[in-house]
Amino acid sequence: MKWKFKQHSVLPGFGMTLGVALTYLGLIVLLPLSLLVWNTSSLSWSEFLKVVCSAQIVASYKLTFGASFLAAVVNAVFGFIAAWTLTRYRFPGKKLLDAIVDMPFAMPTAVSGIALTTIYAPNGWIGYWFAKAGMKIAYTPIGVFIALTFIGLPFVVRTLQPSLDDLDKEIEEAAESLGATKWQTFWRVILPSVLPALATGFTLAFARALGEYGSVVFISGNLPMKTEITALLIYTKLEQFDYAGATAISVVMLGASFVLMLIINMTQWYARKGKK
């Protein structure tokens, strides 16, 4: 594909739209983020490393990235099923179900966190039965995982829905009439065409989970080395008036998230390119 600067479209030319887009992005996203990096520069390199590599903080990276990744994977699977159900079938209460999917978007995260804790605490509706079986959910990494799954679900469902809508039923029928088994139809026909959307949904859910604070701190129990998420440690540093330390951890989170997003987007890009 050749680069083309002049394209006919309803919006005024490339130069102007790019200018607006860059200014907007710069003001809304890049300016605050660069301040973050600026703030960190008050630390020397060795101080920076000492802050971001301390055992307690490394433990929190593991928990945050691990639980976020797991939650995004689970959401990718179950979000797919939910999106499939909502686009392929008609049933009473469908509109309502569709609206409920958005709830985690709309709720203040602290409210979700308290609600989840109430249910999963050892004296809560669900937590009680698990406690009886000798298993704890709230105040363990499992609780963190549950909160992150909760907030991530709508991202997967909402990105998958339009792409599933676009998928003609005829293609499935064609596959079947050409002798594909059900499994083959799903694996070779349906999945590849929604994979880009699924990957986007996964990325969004994952990214959101990495930065989540409100819904997690209530259910996690916040024990150092065990159930502290990185966002909480940033808050803790701020609470101790250690602005530089807080921004140092943020910079690491930011860098790691950016690299991860880039990798996922690149794979997606290659996948799309390979298909064409």
Partner 1 sequence: MNKKFQMTTLILVAAIGFPFVVSCTPKNGDADSAEGTPKVVKNVSLLNVSYDPTRELYVEFNDAFVKHYQKETGVNVDVKMSHGGSGKQARAVIDGAAADVVTLALAYDIDVIAEKAQLFPADWQKRLPDNSTPYTSTIVFLVRKGNPKKIATWDDLVKPGIQVITPNPKTSGGARWNYLAAWGHILKNELGGDLKKVNDPKFADAVKAAEEKAKEHLVALFKNVPVLDTGARGSTMTFVQREIGDVLLAWENEAVLAIKEFGTEKFDIVVPPISILAEPPVTVVDKVADKNGTREVAEAYLKFLYSKEGQEIAAKHFYRPRDKEIAAKYAGNFKEVELFSIDDVFGGWQKAQKLHFSDGGIFDQIYQPK
How many residues belong to the site for partner 1 (CB under 8 A)? 28
Lookup: tokens for 39? 């703030």
| 42 versus 56: smaller Cβ distance to partner 1 | 56
100 touches partner 1 by CB under 8 A:
no
CB 152 within 8 A of CB 209: yes
CB 172 within 8 A of CB 189: yes
224, 244, 254, 257: which one binds partner 1 (CB under 8 A): 224
| Site for partner 1, residues 124 to 143, rule: CB under 8 A | 124, 138-139
Which segment (145-153, 156-164, 199-207, 215-223) binds partner 1 by CB under 8 A?
A: 215-223
Cα 194 to Cα 272: distance, rounded to the nearest angstrom: 11
CB 39 within 8 A of CB 247: yes
| 203 versus 236: smaller Cβ distance to partner 1 | 236
C-alpha distances in Å from residue 198, one per residue of 31, 163, 183, 203, 268 = 31, 9, 18, 9, 10
Question: Crossing angle for the helix pair 191-211 and 243-275, nearest 10 degrees?
Answer: 180
Cα 129 to Cα 156: distance, rounded to the nearest angstrom: 30
238 touches partner 1 by CB under 8 A:
yes
Which segment (25-33, 171-179, 232-240, 250-258) binds partner 1 by CB under 8 A?
A: 232-240
42 touches partner 1 by CB under 8 A:
no
> CB of residue 88 vs partner 1: minimum separation in angstroms?
21
Lookup: tokens for 112? 């979700």
| 201 versus 237: smaller Cβ distance to partner 1 | 237
122, 196, 211, 214: which one binds partner 1 (CB under 8 A): 122
91 touches partner 1 by CB under 8 A:
no
239 touches partner 1 by CB under 8 A:
yes
CB 231 within 8 A of CB 212: yes
Contact letters for partner 1, residues 48-67 (x by CB under 8 A): ---x--xxx-----------
User: What would you report as the CA-atom Rg of the chain, rounded to the nearest whole angstrom?
Assistant: 22
**Sign (positive/negative) of CA torsion 223, 207, 259, 77?**
positive
Which segment (11-19, 70-78, 98-106, 213-221) binds partner 1 by CB under 8 A?
A: 213-221
Lookup: tokens for 49? 């490393």
C-alpha distances in Å from residue 104, one per residue of 86, 100, 142, 197, 230 = 17, 8, 19, 20, 21
84 touches partner 1 by CB under 8 A:
no
> CB of residue 121 vs partner 1: minimum separation in angstroms?
4
245 touches partner 1 by CB under 8 A:
yes
217 touches partner 1 by CB under 8 A:
yes
Cα 71 to Cα 62: distance, rounded to the nearest angstrom: 14
Residues at the site binding partner 1, with contacts judged by CB under 8 A: 51, 54-56, 117-118, 121-124, 138-139, 217-218, 221-225, 232, 235-236, 238-242, 245
